Amino acid sequence: MGRIAYVNGRFVRHAEAAVHIEDRGYQFSDGVYEVWAVLDGKLADSAGHFARLKRSLGELRIPAPMSDAALKIVLAETVRKNRIREGLVYLQVTRGVAPRDHPFPDPPPVPAIVITAKAVDPAIAKQRAQKGAAVVTTPENRWGRCDIKTVSLLPNVLAKQKAKEAGAVEAWFVDDLGLVTEGASSNAWIVDAAGVLRTRDIQANILRGVTRASLLALIDGLGVTFEERPFTPAEAKSAKEAFITGAGTLVLPIVRIDGANVGNGAPGPVAKRLRHLYIEHARRGAD
């Protein structure tokens, strides 16, 4: 069976799925997206992603394309039709189709919605987590509203390409103050030289990661010293451990930053434990 996509009210063959050339997502990046991890065929951290979708849409004044209850059914159906046990489901909502003109069309068009799902090989993901991955740093050059999950991702695309060309999986943006903001598609964490678990606070210009928020709640009961405090690339390179979080990577240990080993160059105990805890939590709560 080939892949199936949901496009504006219909399930269609992925290879034949299409949107209008004057979709404002295509013309202006005028849209938002969400990504859920799929574990055991169910959506991980479902409520957090729904809440963020609502917020992103609200910030851009794009109406919700359907109720949360209806959307839940369509997402589940997309996962089922694609027979995904472990993977990702991607949803994109744009302001809709209208003759090209920058201001919001008046009257507002019907928002356009696309949902796709893809399988991830759990053995490959596990192997990558066991080995750990590399990141590179790159100057922050995104707009000032990175808290909105918009489809406007060109700086992220360029940063990811830089990472790929360096044999890394992720790029960490570094702001004008010399502090890491986040990854191009993940949040950034370290266990610093003093043993303090640190990640950037959400008042900064970063995406409020759903995985990040869940992990914070899990850490609460562990007795780990934790601070929402930014760090420099130098602090990260001399840290005991580093890792990233996101729907695509869950919790992924980072063992190299700009070519320098973190710690002994192998995944550390905190990152390994948190990966395990997060996956257990996500499987338990998935719906």
- Binding residues for ligand PLP, rule: CB under 6 A, are 35, 182, 185-187, 207, 209-212, 245-247
Tokens of residue 79, six digits: 């996962």
Kindly provide the b/e burial profile for residues 12-45, where b requires at least 16 CB atoms within 10 angstroms of the residue's own CB.
eeeeebebbeebbbbbeebbbbbbbbbbeebbbb
Is 90 or 97 the residue whose CB approaches ligand PLP more closely?
Answer: 90
Whole-angstrom CA distances from 95 to 7, 53, 107, 115, 225 are 14, 14, 12, 15, 43
Is 27 or 185 the residue whose CB approaches ligand PLP more closely?
Answer: 185
**In three state form, how does the secondary structure of 88-152 look?**
EEEEEEECCECCCCCCCCCCCCCCEEEEEEEECCHHHHHHHHHHCEEEEEEECCCCCCCCCCECC
Of residues 287, 32, 6, 9, the one with CA closest to residue 146: 32
Is 97 or 146 the residue whose CB approaches ligand PLP more closely?
Answer: 146
What is the smallest separation between the CB atom of 138 and ligand PLP, expressed in angstroms?
A: 13
Is 108 or 143 the residue whose CB approaches ligand PLP more closely?
Answer: 143
Is 205 or 238 the residue whose CB approaches ligand PLP more closely?
Answer: 205
Whole-angstrom CA distances from 51 to 6, 208, 220 are 21, 11, 22
DSSP string, 206-243: S---HHHHHHHHHHTTTT--EEE----HHHHHTSSEEE
Cα separation, 204 vs 182, in Å, equals 10
* Contact call for residues 25 and 92 (beta carbons, < 8 A): yes
Active site residues per annotation: 149
Is 25 or 246 the residue whose CB approaches ligand PLP more closely?
Answer: 246
What is the smallest separation between the CB atom of 150 and ligand PLP, expressed in angstroms?
A: 10
Tokens of residue 218, six digits: 């899990």
